Amino acid sequence: MKHFINLRDISVKDLKKIISDAKRRKAQRKNTSTLDPDKDKPLEGKLLIQMFEKSSLRTRLSFYIAIKQLSGGALTLRPDELHLSKGQESLVDTAKVISTFGNAFMLRTDSEKKIDILKKKMTIPLINGLSPNNHPTQILSDIFTIEEIKKKSISKLQISWIGDSNNVLNSLIEASVKFSFKLNIGCPKNYEPSKKLLKWAKQNNSKIKIFNDSKKAVLNSDVVFTDKVISMNDKVNRNKKLKDFKKFQVNSNLMKNCKNAIFLHCLPRGSEVTDEVFLSKQSKVWEQALNRIYVQKSILLYCFGKLR
């Protein structure tokens, strides 16, 4: 039994195995209906319990479909209906019950502390479906999408991130170390990633460069990522932050500096990207969203010790 909390704790070998398993499983499902199970039915009889303390569309749908295709079932808990959220049951007792009734738990939360407690207390795999500091299932899936579209190992590509230093970027930084790819980050001064994370990346031979100029950051890039300037529950002065990021919008002018690049966005989107880029040929956002299903299936198999 293995947890999937953040990319930095997982070996390169296992991360690559998850990607190759996802490639194989996706190829084997050509012309198969959404809810039809994979032939080997690897998680037959298993229950994935999921809970979202913050909004979600894609993560919710993709985990539901993922476990179904593996022949298991899913149950989504509403946090407002649990005793836990009303302070009437402890986190530890809740974890014990979820561990006894279910076979895996996927949590989207606003609390790293909750994840820390749960990973010690749960006796079934815990999957981080987005926390304040990480969004690991998203980024692993995005690596799959990039390699699928570019038909190259990500280690041979240059990736650019334009925008806020948030949970998605943190996971991308961890991925750049694990998969050894060049990562250019374009963000305003005072919005750089945390020093602690950058120190860890440097100590682990990262190929990360930070620019306070978006054009320099995307020059000759193969992939341009962005995300909302203001994330869920981001407690900031909205107007100030949006103003500070004005020069970091992904628009056609910016994309002229990397004509062969694809554009990716985890979604939902805001004003950080123009419609023109978002709906352009360079944009692969819908394929990106759908691939969450395939990679999360292999993440589930990794957690259950069933990766081929």
Query: Which residues belong to the active site?
Result: 108, 135, 138, 227, 266, 292
129/64 Cα distance (integer angstroms): 12
Question: For ligand NVA, how many residues bind (rule: CB under 6 A)?
Answer: 10
Tally: H helices and E strands in the chain: 12, 9
Rule CB under 6 A: say whether 233 interacts with ligand CP: no
Contacts of ligand CP in 261-280 (CB under 6 A): 266-267
Decide whether 52 or 304 has the Cβ nearer to ligand CP.
52
Residues 72-131 that bind ligand NVA (CB under 6 A): 130
**In 9-82, which ranges are continuous DSSP H helix?**
12-28, 58-69
Compute CA distances 66 → 34, 47, 290, whole Å. Answer: 9, 12, 11
Tallying the residues shown for the chain, one arrives at 308
d(CA 228, CA 265): 9
> Which region, judged by CB under 6 A, interacts with ligand NVA, from 40-48, 152-160, 162-170, 212-220?
162-170
Does residue number 224 form part of the binding site for ligand NVA (CB under 6 A)?
no
Query: Is 232 one of the binding residues for ligand NVA (CB under 6 A)?
Result: yes
Task: Name the token pair of 199.
Answer: 């120190």
Q: Which is nearer to ligand NVA, 166 or 298 (CB)?
A: 166
Partner interacting with residue 162 (select from ligand NVA, ligand CP, none; CB below 5-8 Å by kind): none
* DSSP-assigned beta bridge partners for residue 190: none
Using rule CB under 6 A, residue 167 touches ligand NVA: yes
Cα(232)–Cα(268) distance, integer angstroms? 10
Here the tokens at position 162 are: 């334009």
Binding to ligand CP in span 111-130, by CB under 6 A: 130
Binding site for ligand CP (CB under 6 A): 56-59, 130, 138, 266-267
